[in-house]
Amino acid sequence: MMCPYCRHGETKVIDSRTSQDFVIRRRRECLACARRFTTYEKIEESPIRVIKKDGSRVPFDRDKIAQGLEKACYKRPISPERIEEIISAIERELYENFDREVPSREIGERVMEQLRTLDHVAFVRFASVYREFKDVNDFVEELQPILRGENRRS
């Protein structure tokens, strides 16, 4: 590791800690100038590709999940931290369960699972776009389990 201050090529690790999912924080000291600095190491994952409805393949983008969740949760009592937790959980599931490719419907279903138990209004908002409801009957069909009292929260 090159020192950012004097550009010397040798440093020693003073402390290592896990910081977030798959990230290691290392405190280092330069062997030449003795200055200390912090580095973050992230495991390089093989990127997952998303298979879209039309058969095309695009790189996985967690920001797309974030945008969908933010729209669904707009003006709902759901913190940005909770939205980030959901995104991280979904991303973790995808990397654990899929090697290289994941159908987009798998991602959508996982988002809906999370929202179904979190907030019914956000769930219906997301489902209406994701499932492409054509009329009121589609809404009613999706709402039946909620109206019967299953997973009642909101």
Domain boundaries defined on the chain? 11-42, 49-147
Direct distance between the N- and C-terminal alpha carbons of the chain, in angstroms, rounded to an integer: 52
Tokens for 37? 């600095």
User: Is the pTM of the predicted complex or chain greater than 0.75?
Assistant: no
| Span 6-22, pLDDT tens digits | 999 999 999 998 866 67
Tell me how far CA of residue 11 lies from CA of 22, 42, 54, in angstroms: 23, 19, 50
Tell me how far CA of residue 40 lies from CA of 25, 43, 69, in angstroms: 5, 10, 28
Phi, psi of 101 (to 5 degrees): -135, 145
| Span 62-98, pLDDT tens digits | 999 999 999 999 999 999 999 999 999 999 999 889 9
For residue 84, the number of C-alpha atoms closer than 13 Å in the C-beta half-sphere is 5
Closest CA to 17 of 7, 27, 9: 27
The H-assigned helical ranges of 26-79 are: 62-72
Phi, psi of 146 (to 5 degrees): -70, -40
